[in-house]
Structure 1
Amino acid sequence: MKSILRKLTIDNAILLLVLCMLGWAGNTIAGRLSSNEISPMVIVFLRWSIVSSILIIFKYQKIITSLDLLKGKLIWLFFMGAFGYTGFNSLFYISAQYTSAINLGIIQGTMPAIVLIGSLIFFKEKTNLIQICGLFLTFIGVLILVSQGNLEILLLLALNYGDLIMFFSCFLYSGFTLGLRKKPNIDPFVLMFFFSITAFIASFPGILIENHLNLINWPNNKNEFLIIIYIAFVPSLIAQLFFIRGVELIGADKASLFINLVPVFSAFLGIIILNEKLQIFHLFSLIVILFGIYLFMVLGENYKKRKKI
């Protein structure tokens, strides 16, 4: 009975990865719900203070024993935490004040393409025409989204600031993803603690700026505290745990394909929870982006493997 239950739960990669993507998509909804109630830097500050506190409680011994392994990685740790966690999250929650959860999710779907471009530039990875076509389609999809399918908006540069901020934030997190290639061989949750504590420290200047500009808003009711708790526990801890387990079961390449579910789930959650309207340009943009990702992550990689044979 236990083995059957295990196969259906913690050994079920598809279930774990689907739930992970649902949790990450929920972050777009949390961002929208908090957009006019809690200021972006307060969310980032509270998120990573909670996460780092939880991790140090459960991973204290491993954190202490891992300190020697990270002595030569302090600059790397700072940039990873400050840009990948604080920078990305800050821009994400700022953009949530100006655009829809549907748009946030769809733009997030471009990250695999940006990571591939970074791999080509910084790690000299080989590519092929199929993958280049996939990249091209992915960014065409983003242009369709930010212009709302209207060429005039694009030509006049009358674009939504929230969409542009979100797109820029994707470059920060893609840089973080590429930086993980340099990670030391330690427990992933210990590494996450160091990223989290760095992100927590790096959020202080943002808090001071918000306070100086009188833009700071702390959570002050039950619903707002629940949003913070959700952000700290589900996208940051539970979903991450599910993703790590999913990678262990089926490998990083296959697991990364599930990231394409984030824009799909974000769209559905935005419609159901926030009553957002799904427009034709949303659907067209999503289809173009997902097809572009399919070209470079599936067909392009399969073509590479056939050439090696």
Structure 2
Amino acid sequence: MNVTKSFIYGVLIGVLGIVLFSSKAVMVKLAYNYNVDAISILLLRMLFSFPFYLIIALSSRKKNSSVKTTKNDFLWVLFFGFVGYYLASYFDFVGLTYIKASLERIILFLYPTIVLIFNKIFLKKKINKLQIGAIILTYLGIIIAFWDEVAISGTNTYLGGFFILLSAITYASYLVGSGWLIPKFGVIKFTSYAMLVSCFCVFVHFNFSVESSIFGHAIEVYILGFLIAVFATVIPSYLVSMSIKMINSSNFAIVAGVGPISTIILATIFLDEYLTTLQLIGAFVVIIGILLVSLKKENS
């Protein structure tokens, strides 16, 4: 497969992974109709995901990698597993208790810029003009899409915004770490190990969350928890890692701008939320930005 085709496939795989991840928000919102709290949904997500990651990790542990891994590499996997899918999710959940989801999405999608900055600082990767243009387009599309939804009210908005910003920073660091560690471990091993770490972190968190209980919920909550685990966690986590390997974390961060738009579309279909003209325009602008990224050839 030549470089151009590989890069385009990487973009398409990344978009599919992001769309599946976006379905999580819709399924969580459906679960909230059954009076379940956020930490319980987070636990069910990881509880149902855990066997998949464990089986895949055990089956792939003997596969040799062309690059030798060290103890420090495993320590970094522990760190990024803790930071990425656990800490970023936790900050996001806390922030959402203070601000609207529409404002949360806009702040959270600062992370593509943070990824580029981290790559520049820590990995000495240049930020090219096409990446800058695509970033501007995707951000512009996101702002247009949510322009008529954003409403800032009360001083708690600033606190909520701070937590969402922490979520964006921690998730960005995970993406950068993924781009660096995936070549050492391989897509399957790295994703499995990092997600197992995240699962354990959630289990510990829930154990200290005295106000929450995993039992006594409606059957629909457990069904939705399973669907979130398989289709909005396990499958997209491997797709995202594969995409990062093929197009690098900087370009993936830009492609991920499709996330808010896909959330709007899925919410319109499954939650009967109204899709406004501004949101349609925003979606179109984001798609243009993604197409710009797909035209860039990988230089690594």
| Structure 1 position 83 matched with structure 2 position 83 | yes
Contact 2:112 2:135 (C-alpha < 8 Å) held by counterparts: no
In the TM superposition, what is the alpha-carbon distance from 1:265 to its structure 2 partner? Answer: 1.4
2:127 maps to 127
Instruction: Give the C-alpha shift of residue 206 in structure 1.
Output: 2.4
Say how many residue pairs are matched: 285
CA separation of 1:61 and 1:294: change in aligned 2, threshold 3 A: closer
Q: TM-score, normalised by structure 1?
A: 0.69
* Alignment-mate amino acid for residue 54 of structure 2: I
Question: Is 2:180 the counterpart of 1:185?
Answer: no
> Which amino acid in structure 1 is aligned with residue 116 of structure 2?
L
For residue 252 of structure 1, what is the aligned residue in structure 2? 247
CA distance in 1, matches of 2:141, 2:113: 12
Equivalent residues in 2 for 1:1-309 (5 A)? 18-35=15-32, 37-63=35-61, 69=69, 71-95=71-95, 108-127=108-127, 153=152, 159=157, 165-183=163-181, 185-211=184-210, 214=211, 216-218=212-214, 220-243=217-240, 251-252=246-247, 256=252, 258-278=255-275, 297=293
Name the TM-score, length of structure 2 as normaliser: 0.71
Q: CA deviation at 1:176?
A: 0.3
Contact 2:134 2:290 in 1 (8 A): yes
Q: 1:8-46 CA deviation, whole Å, 9 max, x = no partner?
A: xxxx87875554333111012123233463333333333
Change (3 A) 1:114 1:245: closer
Unaligned stretches of 5+ residues in structure 1: 1-11
Percent identity, aligned pairs only?
20
- 1:52–1:291 distance in 2 versus 1, CA, 3 Å: same
1:38 partner letter: V
Equivalent pair of 1:30/1:231 in contact (CA under 8 Å): yes
Distance 1:176 1:13 in 2: 18
Q: Secondary structure at the match of 2:184?
A: coil
Q: Is the 8 A contact 1:246 1:255 kept in 2?
A: no
Give the residue type in structure 1 aligned to 2:122.
Answer: F
Report how far residue 48 of structure 1 moved: 2.7
Give CA deviations for 1:103-125 in whole Å, capped at 9, x if unaligned.
56555544322211222232333
How far apart, in 2, do the equivalents of 1:162 and 1:143 lie? 18
Whether contact under 8 Å (1:14, 1:246) holds in the other structure is yes
Tell me, yes or no, if the aligned pair for 1:138 and 1:288 is still in contact at 8 Å.
Answer: yes
Residue 4 (structure 2) aligns with:
none
Q: Deviations over 1:217-258 (max 9, x none)?
A: 43612211112111210122222344556678xx32598364
CA distance in 2, matches of 1:247, 1:122: 17
- SS of residue paired to 1:203: helix
How far apart, in 2, do the equivalents of 1:247 and 1:132 lie? Answer: 18
> Bigger shift: 92-101 or 271-280?
92-101
Alpha carbons 2:88, 2:167 under 8 Å: kept: yes
8 A contact 2:95–2:164 mirrored in 1: yes
The offset of 1:191, in angstroms, is: 1.9
* Contact 2:187-2:242 within 8 A present in 1 as well: no
CA distance in 1, matches of 2:26, 2:158: 18
d(CA) in 1 for partners of 2:168 and 2:161? 11
1:186 partner letter: F
